[in-house]
Structure 1
Amino acid sequence: MSGRLSSKTAIITGAASGIGRASALLFAREGANLLAFDRADAVHEVAGQINASGGHAVAMTGDAGDEADIKALVARAKSTFGALHVMFANAGITGGVRGGFFDATPEHWAEVLRINLIGPFLAVKHAAPLIEASGGGAIVCTASVAGLRSGAGPAQYSASKAGVINLVQTAAQQLAGTGVRVNAVLPGLTETGMTKPMYDGARAAGKEHKIGQLNPMLRGGKPEEIAAVALFLASNEASYVNGQALAVDGGLSSSHPTSRPPGDPNRPSS
């Protein structure tokens, strides 16, 4: 199999569904030896689909925010494939809280930050040395347009994704001279398991046509569209792209239009 990742080894976290699944299938079609990682057992089905199609994939379950699991993941890549060239730190959660900003607890925030921000940090920390030893390559992290400014996600989610944007900038500088590039892809509204309740609700109400109406494309995104940009950042086509945050949002972040929500009834009074 030949392609943009031919003879390369790639890890994708959060590979059981949504953007991670679409990326796993695409990376494998482009020739990558793939290690698909997720806490959901469905990741084994993704690897099985790839292998049935003539690709080469191995599945592993674990927690993207747990250092022992990420160390084991990178070690598995080395023991199975002998090298690592691409790490796509994609796993994430919304940490949605019923109610408003003031209903969130420190525990809610801690869990979102653990998965969404500490997880990518661990991916960089443990993957970068092996990628460098393998001759160089790329680390891609999934951030979000919610990390750019208010109006595209819950507060704890938005803050975690803002951290990812800064993380790739910082990591790119820390890895100067190693041959390891670090970039982020910033999805806008995309139909995934994470956004399924919103999509289902809109369809049930006969309002599917209103999804994505705040961006100039007037629609939501597809996981495959985000995967295509992640592939670009992972490939040699992006060999001079480093420390960047690339929005894939239909143009939403060109202005980030949003209507102000009503005041939070649970906001503490002064």
Structure 2
Amino acid sequence: MSRLDGKIAIVTGAGSGIGRATVDLFRGHGATVVGADLKGADVECDAGSEEAVKALIDEVVEQHGRLDVMFANAGVSGGFDGIFDQDENTWAEILRVNLIGPAMAIKHAAPAMKKSGGGSIIATASVAGLRSGAGGPAYTASKAGVINLVKIAAQQMSGANVRVNAICPGLIETGMTQFIYDHARAKGNEGEIGKLNPLRRGGEPEEIAAAALFLASDEASYVNGHALVVDGGLSSSHPYTRQVYGRTAS
């Protein structure tokens, strides 16, 4: 069954990982999809720039007459440095791409969707946005912001038939997390990846794409203002380590 027949969709961060998997899956379900990224996608776009995001949305609407799905997926990690190691510029860039970018996607996609009767906006958050222990300080703060962004946006879209939701992935092998996987493989510890969650494995980009497909489709017609966690059960418990000033202790 094609779940997105006739839908027009934009996916940012489409050059690799979750974004690329989502583009492929959406197209396989009948959607016309424009993938955007700094490189490696259909169009070049800086997802943290309001001007670039607006131009992308305007171009898609002009070419296709409507916009039904906006997946604001692009993001950067900024590494795992502690709060005393990340400077103002690092914070500003991570927040620009990870939080301001989705906000601008919502700002400019929602009016286009309202004109054509409604639509679905999805933003990539993270389990790091739920609690500490899954990312650096700026990254964690940005993803917590995304979770609350979709809630307030869903409320402010009241009456527009535009749904706004987030996905919170756990550890997924993408370009952003490749260094974790490469390090584990180099040490012969690949089998340890993901062992902190009950499924005892890392996730695949296609598993997040499947969640995005659900939220984009009419099957999720009553899902709104929600952060869908896809993490193998990782966030169902607390981390096994505690943070001590200046170091991490078991």
- Partner SS for 1:230: helix
Q: 1:262 offset after TM fit, Å?
A: 5.8
* Count of aligned positions: 247
Q: Deviations over 1:130-170 (max 9, x none)?
A: 11112211000000000000011111000000000000000
Residue 250 of structure 2 is aligned to residue 260 of structure 1: no
Q: 1:101 offset after TM fit, Å?
A: 2.1
Q: Is the 8 A contact 1:151 1:258 kept in 2?
A: no
Q: Is the 8 A contact 1:186 1:246 kept in 2?
A: yes
The equivalent residue for 1:95 is 78
Letter in structure 1 aligned against 2:226: Q
The equivalent residue for 1:153 is 135
Q: 1:256 offset after TM fit, Å?
A: 3.3
Q: Is the 8 A contact 2:82 2:137 kept in 1?
A: no
Tell me how far apart the structure 2 counterparts of residues 204 and 95 of structure 1 sit (CA, whole Å).
Answer: 22
Q: 1:73 offset after TM fit, Å?
A: 0.5
RMSD: 1.2
The equivalent residue for 1:137 is 119
The equivalent residue for 2:53 is 70
Unaligned 5+ segments in structure 1 are: 44-58, 266-270
- Partner SS for 2:242: coil
Q: Out of 231, 241, 255, which is 2:213 matched to? A: 231
Letter in structure 2 aligned against 1:96: G
Q: Deviations over 1:53-78 (max 9, x none)?
A: xxxxxx21010010110111001111
Q: Is the 8 A contact 1:27 1:34 kept in 2?
A: yes
Question: Once structures 1 and 2 are overlaid, which stretch shifts more, 59-68 or 165-174?
Answer: 59-68
The residue correspondences of 1:53-202 to structure 2 (distance < 5 A) are 59-96=42-79, 99-202=81-184
Tell me how far apart the structure 2 counterparts of residues 101 and 210 of structure 1 sit (CA, whole Å).
Answer: 27
* 4+ residue segments displaced more than 3 Å: none
Tell me how far apart the structure 2 counterparts of residues 138 and 171 of structure 1 sit (CA, whole Å).
Answer: 12
Unaligned 5+ segments in structure 2 are: none
- Partner SS for 2:155: helix
Letter in structure 2 aligned against 1:105: D
Tell me how far apart the structure 2 counterparts of residues 116 and 100 of structure 1 sit (CA, whole Å).
Answer: 18
- Partner SS for 1:185: strand
Q: Is the 8 A contact 1:101 1:264 kept in 2?
A: no
Tell me how far apart the structure 2 counterparts of residues 256 and 60 of structure 1 sit (CA, whole Å).
Answer: 40
Tell me how far apart the structure 2 counterparts of residues 94 and 258 of structure 1 sit (CA, whole Å).
Answer: 22
Letter in structure 1 aligned against 2:79: G
- Partner SS for 1:101: coil
Letter in structure 2 aligned against 1:28: R
The equivalent residue for 2:23 is 24
Q: 1:263 offset after TM fit, Å?
A: 4.2
Tell me how far apart the structure 2 counterparts of residues 236 and 36 of structure 1 sit (CA, whole Å).
Answer: 21
Tell me how far apart the structure 2 counterparts of residues 138 and 152 of structure 1 sit (CA, whole Å).
Answer: 28
